[in-house]
Amino acid sequence: MEILHMIFIAPFLDMVALPDLFFQGLWDGFVGGTLYALLALGFVLIFKASGVFNFSQPILMVLAALALVSFYEMGINPWISVALVLLLMYALAYGVERVILRNLVNQDGNILFMSTIGLTFVIIGAAQWIFGGVPRSMIHAELGFPVGSSEWPMFGGAVYFEHIDISAVVLASSLIAILAVFFSKTKIGRGLRAVADDHQAALSVGISLNQIWVIVWFVAGIVALVGGLFWGARSDVSFALQIIGLKALPVLIIGGFTSVPGAIIGGLIIGLGEKIFEIYWGPMMGGSVEGWFAYVIALVFLLFKPQGLFGEKIIERV
């Protein structure tokens, strides 16, 4: 009886007793969810263009963030540092297309997936060699993003809004919206969708596969930079950031590997769900449940929607 009370009654009583805490949880979950959506978007773009689950997306985020901070530490203007990182991301996209994708075209998807694992370790080694392994502070304040926080009194308590979190939500949402429009309304976007549907058919109508791959990897690099900027601001810039990147997995399972709206909805479901569950049901289970709870949600979706909420249904004719 007591356990039923702990599961079905006590958490809701807590929500009512401390509504400010509940709203804080919702806000934190919303911020986290938006950033998860951004992480997932990087995976979605590359999966759409090449059918590859890009295992190196999290380390791309670390590389972008580390490079940004390192350029700034060399005395370079913060916005020029951003430009240099974008240049680096483009060079990387070009290199990946020339060295890996072009040579592995038409190979089995698993081989391409393995190549991204290899790429991950190459980037880890190179980044550590060039930038070192010492954690750094993100330069969001130097870039002009607001710091500090605001306090909104509510129900006898308060909800705190970190200004950098507000910036993260605004910028991430804008980026997601721009990319959604870019890939649905522009010629390149249509090219991407054609490549995603059928490589050979896309080639036959004159779409350059290589060009699309470079663009998509570059855009994934931009997404990685924005993700690295805000996740780095929330803790610090170190190689440990790549673990956060893997949080995109349950988001992708929920939203579908090929859907931009899916990444957004999936990110919000995970962000809000894990936060509220951890605060109100976590202590009953010994805490530290949000890591696996995200996968529980993903598993439930897998049972009923194996392609995710917005994923394309695969029909294979025998």
Partner 1 sequence: MKKHIIGAAVALGTLISTVSMSFAEELLVPHLTYRVGPFAANGTMGANAITDYFTMLNERDGGIGGLKVNPEECETGYNAQKGVECYESYRGKNPLMHIPNSTGITLQLLQKAPEDEVPIFTMGYGLSAAAKGETFPWAFNYPASYWSQMTSILSYIDSETGLKGKKIAFLYLDGGYGREPLPLLDKLEPKMGFETVRIPVAFADSQNQGSQWLTIRKEKPDWVIMWGWGVMNITAVKEAAKTRFPLDRFIGNWWSGGHVDVEALGMKAKGYKASNFTPAGRDFPVVQDVIKHVVSKGLTKTEPDMPGKVLYNRSLFMAVVMAEAIIEAQKLTGKANVTGADVRKGFEMIKLDEARLKELGFEGFTPVIGSCADHEGQGSIFVQQWNGKDWEKITDFIPPMTDIVQPLLTEAADAYKSDKPGWKTQNCS
Residues that bind partner 1 (CB under 8 A): 14, 18, 21, 24-25, 28, 32, 124, 128, 133-137, 149, 160, 162, 231, 234-236, 238-244, 246-247, 274-275, 278-279, 282-283, 286-288, 290-291
Min dist. Cβ of residue 130 to partner 1 (A): 14
The position carrying tokens 């993100």 is 138
Both tokens assigned to 202: 């896309």
Q: Which is nearer to partner 1, 40 or 112 (CB)?
A: 40
Q: Which is nearer to partner 1, 95 or 291 (CB)?
A: 291
Min dist. Cβ of residue 292 to partner 1 (A): 8
Min dist. Cβ of residue 90 to partner 1 (A): 27
Contact status, residue 274 vs residue 298, Cβ threshold 8 Å = no
- Residue type present at position 190: R
What is the rounded distance in angstroms from the CA atom of residue 22 to the CA atom of residue 182?
36
Min dist. Cβ of residue 124 to partner 1 (A): 7
Contact status, residue 42 vs residue 224, Cβ threshold 8 Å = yes
Both tokens assigned to 212: 């699309």
Min dist. Cβ of residue 242 to partner 1 (A): 8
Q: For the CA atoms of 36, 291, 308, 63, what is the dihedral angle to 10 degrees?
A: 40
Contact status, residue 273 vs residue 29, Cβ threshold 8 Å = yes
DSSP readout, 128-163?
Answer: HHHH-S--B---TTTTT---SEEEEEETTEEEEEEH
Min dist. Cβ of residue 306 to partner 1 (A): 25
Min dist. Cβ of residue 257 to partner 1 (A): 21
Q: Which is nearer to partner 1, 24 or 116 (CB)?
A: 24
Q: Which is nearer to partner 1, 97 or 278 (CB)?
A: 278
What is the rounded distance in angstroms from the CA atom of residue 9 to the CA atom of residue 286?
18
Residue 149 parent element (H or E): strand 149-154
Q: Which is nearer to partner 1, 45 or 279 (CB)?
A: 279
Supply φ then ψ for residue 151, to 5 degrees: -120, 125
Q: Which is nearer to partner 1, 65 or 202 (CB)?
A: 65
- Residue type present at position 115: S
Q: Which is nearer to partner 1, 48 or 275 (CB)?
A: 275
Q: Which is nearer to partner 1, 113 or 239 (CB)?
A: 239
Min dist. Cβ of residue 307 to partner 1 (A): 26
Residue 216 parent element (H or E): helix 209-234
Q: Which is nearer to partner 1, 124 or 171 (CB)?
A: 124
Min dist. Cβ of residue 31 to partner 1 (A): 8
Give the list of residues 6+ apart from residue 35 with CB closer than 8 angstroms, or none. 168, 172, 227, 230, 231, 267, 271
What is the rounded distance in angstroms from the CA atom of residue 68 to the CA atom of residue 131?
10
- Dihedral angle sign, alpha carbons of residues 249, 94, 120, 58: negative
Partners of 152 in beta bridges: 159
